[in-house]
């Protein structure tokens, strides 16, 4: 019986997870600020390493600037992929149409927060994927499709209504 519990715990840890956070409005600014708050919380809990995936370099720069100005009293260490010390930074921001598309999860980067309409090709490398859904019809439709994709891939999916 004890061996069965141990095996169940091992299998549970091996299963990939996906969290969908569902916001109550369509404001893109609120979506970005919620991402910042969630990153701050994850970082504060000791889960320091994560990759943020944006669609374009412009989106990545906007998100980078948002993290810098998110709160005057907090500091979330992050960098854009390609910057001098990005590999040493716990929170890396990348985008699809650049060399950052080749980022893969390593043993110490297990969380992917995607704010791109399309998941990066390496999304299966991560232990935990986070998606932020607002009430924008395009984003909702895109993420409904992605939800089905993750379910088909066997992810343990949780939804959180905010």
Sheet containing strand 156-161, strands side by side: 78-80, 91-95, 50-54, 111-114, 128-133, 17-22, 156-161
CATH number at residue 152: 3.40.50.10110
| Rounded CA separation 123/14 (Å) | 15
CB 63 within 8 A of CB 93: yes
Is residue 9 a part of any domain in this protein? no
Is residue 157 a part of any domain in this protein? yes
CB 130 within 8 A of CB 22: no
Instruction: For residue 57, give the nearest of 101, 102, 98, 114 by alpha carbon.
Output: 98
Model pLDDT, residue 79: 83
Residue partners of 15: CB distance under 8 A and separation at least 6 = 154, 155, 156
Each residue's pLDDT tens digit, 72-131 = 787 888 888 877 766 677 888 888 765 554 454 455 678 899 988 887 778 888 889 999
Q: Taking the CB of residue 41, how many other CB atoms lie within 10 A of it? A: 10
Each residue's pLDDT tens digit, 35-86 = 999 999 988 888 668 889 998 889 999 999 988 888 878 788 888 887 776 6
User: Cα-atom radius of gyration of the chain, to the nearest Å?
Assistant: 16
Is residue 42 a part of any domain in this protein? yes
Q: What is the pTM of this model?
A: 0.81
Is residue 109 a part of any domain in this protein? yes
Model pLDDT, residue 73: 83
**Burial class of residue 12, CB neighbours in 10 A (0-12, 13-18, 19+):** exposed
Take residue 133 and report the two structure tokens written for it.
């859904």
What's the domain count of the chain? 1
**Alpha helices (H) in the chain, listed in sequence order:** 2-14, 28-44, 57-69, 137-152
**Burial class of residue 80, CB neighbours in 10 A (0-12, 13-18, 19+):** buried
Is residue 5 a part of any domain in this protein? no
Q: What is the domain range of residue 57?
A: 15-161
Is residue 134 a part of any domain in this protein? yes
Residue 130 dihedral angles phi and psi, to the nearest 5°: -120, 130
């Amino acid at each position: 019986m004890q061996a069965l519990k141990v095996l169940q715990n091992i299998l549970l840890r091996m299963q990939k997870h996906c969290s969908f956070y569902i916001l109550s409005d369509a404001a893109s600014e609120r979506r970005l600020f919620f991402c910042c708050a969630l990153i701050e919380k994850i970082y504060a809990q000791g889960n320091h390493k994560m990759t943020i995936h944006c669609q374009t370099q412009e989106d990545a720069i906007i998100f980078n600037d948002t993290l810098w100005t998110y709160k005057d009293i907090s500091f979330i260490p992050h960098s854009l992929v390609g910057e001098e010390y990005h590999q040493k930074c716990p929170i890396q921001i990348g985008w699809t149409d650049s060399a950052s598309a080749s980022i893969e999860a390593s043993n110490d980067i297990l969380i992917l927060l995607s704010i791109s309409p399309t998941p990066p090709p390496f999304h299966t490398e991560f232990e935990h994927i986070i998606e932020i859904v607002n009430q924008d019809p395009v984003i909702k439709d895109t993420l409904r499709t992605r939800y089905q994709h993750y379910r088909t891939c066997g992810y343990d999916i949780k939804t959180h209504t905010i």
